[in-house]
Chain A
Amino acid sequence: MPSHLRRLNFAILFALGIASPFLGRALAVFAMPARQQEVARVTSPDSRHDAVTIRYQPLLPYMRASVEVYVVPRGGQVAPSADPVLLATRAVGVQSTWKDDRLLEIHYSRARVEGFTAIWPSIANNPPMVEIRLSPPTTGFSFAAEGDS
């Protein structure tokens, strides 16, 4: 093998080695078969944004169903690379309500919040267009503490 080609191969493999933890995670997300369904779309009072609730039902038995809430421009689709403002498993009663043009409130009666960000879009140093707040039940825990598996 010519030496320049070998060096190129080495460089590619070295980069692949560095990137493999991230690639593995990305592959796990994209390769896992799941049935997704938009279960709710709520438009903001000023008609500029939609809060879209999507339910993911994995087709593999060992994976958990999840609920994700996205904020998109009105009528827009959720981009595959978009980050949800809420990612929850074991979620029951997830409901989005716009309190005003810039404030989205997400109610739930039960959820394990795996990921939540209170601003959208979540770009550093940019003022958010929408703020999001969680509204769990006022009494009791929102996930079962005992026997929760």
Chain B
Amino acid sequence: MTTEPRAAAMAPPIAFFTIFLVGLLTAAGIKAIHDYAIDLNQHEVARVTSPDHQIDAVFVQPKIRLITGESDLYLVPKGEPAPSWGAVLRITKMTEPASVTWTRTGMLEFRYSRGCVQKFSNFWHSDDAVLGGHYVEVRLAPSVELPCTGGPTLPVMSLKATEPSKAPLSRLISRTNAEGQS
């Protein structure tokens, strides 16, 4: 073996540190490949611009569900593509249409009747210098009591959180995730 004498000659701490660094870089590489795969695999199904035309709410779903089975909602500066990380909402088993609505500047509502919310954060903040630090609050508005397992429809009054502002700040998302049907 030609590598054995070289490894033996190398000072152990440097060799150990190098191996550790290679491991760290491998982890970073795996993360980068994973993000890239998600990026390639997702396609945009809805994009709704905020009333002040600064922010887009982008709803994406996977092309191939083997890599990731979830649909994601991202907030991005207007016109930018959805990233592969940092979704404000991750939802599975969406078998009915949903809608994304800007109820006012800085307030986004996600209305759905079927789906299991796996991950949700109610705020998004942009550090973009051009945007000047925008805050958005996101709200979930399930129209049934048990949207994941199925349940009775809620009374209409309990769904009405805020008055929607002028159109077209809303976008209907047709059935995006047919896991429950296939």
A and B pair up:
yes
Contact digits for A111-145, partner B, Cβ 8 Å, 1 yes 0 no:
11111111100100001100101101011011101
Give the docked Cα–Cα distance between A20 and B26 (Å): 11
* Majority-rule SS of A interface residues: mixed
Residues of A83-134 contacting chain B, CB below 8 A: 99-100, 102-103, 111-119, 122, 127-128, 131, 133-134
- Segment from A7-15, A51-59, A69-77 that makes contact with B: A7-15
Q: How far is the CB of A119 from chain B (nearest CB, A)?
A: 5
Given the known interface contacts A18-B26, A145-B135, the answer about A134 and B19 at a Cβ–Cβ threshold of 8 Å is no
A13/B122 in contact, CB under 8 A: no
Residue of A nearest to B30 (CB): A18
Residues of B127-172 contacting chain A, CB below 8 A: 135, 137, 139-140, 142, 145-149, 151, 161-162
B24 is an interface residue with CB less than 8 A from chain A: yes
B36 / chain A contacts, CB cutoff of 8 Å:
none
Interface size range of chain A in the complex: 35 or more
Residue of A nearest to B105 (CB): A145
Interface size range of chain B in the complex: 35 or more
Given the known interface contacts A14-B22, A143-B137, the answer about A9 and B116 at a Cβ–Cβ threshold of 8 Å is no
Interface, chain A (partner B; CB < 8 A): 1, 3, 6, 9-10, 13-21, 99-100, 102-103, 111-119, 122, 127-128, 131, 133-134, 136, 138-139, 141-143, 145, 148
Given A3-B8, A131-B151, 8 additional A-B pairs, CB 8 A: A13-B16, A14-B26, A17-B19, A20-B27, A21-B31, A127-B149, A134-B122, A141-B137
Interface, chain B (partner A; CB < 8 A): 4, 7-8, 12, 15-16, 19-28, 30-31, 106-107, 116-123, 135, 137, 139-140, 142, 145-149, 151, 161-162
